Structure 1
Amino acid sequence: MDRERRWPDALLTVALLAIGLVGTAPAGVNQGVDAGPGAYPLVVVAALAVAVRRRRPLVTLAVVTVATTAYLVLGYPYGPILLSFFVAVYTVAAYRPVRDAAVAGAGALAALLAYVLFGARSPGLVGLMPVAAWVVVPFAAGVTARLSREAVARNRTDEARRLADAERLRVAREVHDVVGHGLAAIHLQAEIALHLLDRRPEQAEAALTAISRTSKEALDELRVTLTVVRREEVADERAPAPGLDQLPHLRERLAGAGVPVTVEVTGAPLALPVAVDLAAYRVVQEALTNVLRHAGPATAAVRVGYAPGEVTVEVTDTGRGRSRDAAPEPSGGSGLAGMRERVTALGGTFSAGPAAPGGFRVHATLPLREAA
């Protein structure tokens, strides 16, 4: 299990242990029951079992149920040990399939019925409903939490897929516009050059120069745009040239998908070349998409820095950095490789990796000149 999940369970175990050791005797005083020395080993066992609740939920429930049942059958007072029992039932319901959880919960309830029937302080049949509530309430809460968590995960996956599909459609339109416009202009200038080549070579030369310029501009734009075809990005609006001015809207979209994003800008904003502006935006966009798809519950921070001759973008998050850094990428330049390709195509530098103290960091520097 991930290390970040162990710390909350360890803290919960310490809390239950402290509450059990400190609160059992006062609970006995309030109920007029002596909490003898034999009660405390059972309280300790029940609390310590919680430490592995998410790694071994069924084992945890079994140990806690045995300890709690023995505690009650021996006539010790109702006390903090029931908190450990509640946590164990909740965990099974929250992290195991419904059928497995239901069987385990029924087993725990059956064990507690031994206290109702044979306990030293048995409440009799009137105790059936309270004892059943000790199982039913945490079980219902756990099932609700699990269903909610699964729904959030499905929504995040569906949202990422929908945005990626919408972006592919938008890129197809961009490519059509770039190629269609460029080829139409080149065709027109080529017809003029052929018509004037013999009679007015000076005008034919101008037409050929225009063809050269138009083809270079179209190829530069197409080279940047086609990189997107191999990647899945966060965007679905129809925009001919997205840029850093759309970061607030991107932040809102990610917040709606469950990833809070902050944006910080340093330096005086500059008018960027279209290709640079697009590449910077795409790097931020792809990095935030990776947060959405791979980081788990996380927040993200975007920093844009304007300096003479260059612009830098940095995206950091608080999610699972190592898993994304170590995961192999599909061939064809997707993910981090796709971002690196886009940046280096413009003569920039790119780096990505785990961030301290945790999470992931993507950083790109783009010169404010078109790549040769």
Structure 2
Amino acid sequence: MPPFGQTRFPLPRGARADAALAFGTFVLVAIAEGQRLSNGEDWMPSQVSSWLLIIAVCGALLFRRRYPVAVGWFTVLATGGYYVLSDIDGPLVVVPIVALYAIAAQGRVRAAIAMAATMVIGMGGGALLGESDITGTVVFMLTGWLVAVVALGSVRHGRVAYAEEEARLRATEERLRIARELHDVIGHNISMINVQAAAALHRLKKDPAQAEEALGAIKAGSRETLRELRATLGVLRRVDEEAPTAPAPGLVRVAELVASAKLTGLAVRIEWTGAERSLSAPVDLAAYRIVQESLTNAAKHSGAGQVTVRLAYGDAELALSVEDDGRGAAARPAGSGGGSGIAGMTERARALGGELAAGPRPEGGFAVRARLPYGITGEPMERSDR
């Protein structure tokens, strides 16, 4: 059985909606005007003018999207002329009210207010001239309707503008997230390949065995880079491809980062403290990327020989630090990696309600320290591979 939303009669939209509204209003007003002819009254010039105004006002709705303000003023003035000429209180006033709402919904509130004021003044003038069908109550009710229509149109404009701005912000945040992810995925592996290539060139003649080992690491690193790049692009394109067999980036793969860093000459030690918890995917990914970027910066910029990675599971947050014994901030460009490395790590931590600090250590070297709240924490679990 199809969903309920698909069984309903689809409402017309756009130009079809305008045509349906124009035709419906014309039919209602024509029925009211037809009472004159059914009573045996002869055609008079005022009746002919009324019918021409009805046709013109209803037909103007077909152009309200292309010329909203011009159509609005025309319907207001022509409808006023209709009520002056006709003895029938037909529903033609619906047309300028619809035009007012459309103009206010486009954000042209001043024009809508001017048109509404013109209608109220015209109706008030008719009451002062002693028109039997126009009383103070009628003027008051019309004023209330017009104020409500303009207000509803303004609210509609505000909601649409808010939704568009929110969509733009979401798109900007998504672009930043993708840029961070690509920087972390590609930047780390390419940096490691660059360091290993330099080491291979340096050792090619002196120690061919170590050079061969570095070239093997370059091959493995480039293969991993291509795999992760394809996986990332596949997600962006939403292509149905075979799921990757490697585990998703997370602390479960931190040993791979350590192994890759060791091939560049770094001596990396990991220290675990606290009862390990099952982390949510965003926290797990952020922790992995922070360790990855920190090791990349240590290999590229610090000239460090030893790096210590500490992961401490607290009651409410994961505390991690990456400390090296290199030259500190002196050898690092601002932001480490073209200005996006430390900034990207900081953004990741803040997005999860945590914080990150990076800078030289008093005893020498460089340190990156972060706190990542669990958010939704799992139960403590035993770790068998420490």
Q: TM-score, normalised by structure 2?
A: 0.48
Q: TM-score, normalised by structure 1?
A: 0.50
**Which has more radius of gyration?**
2
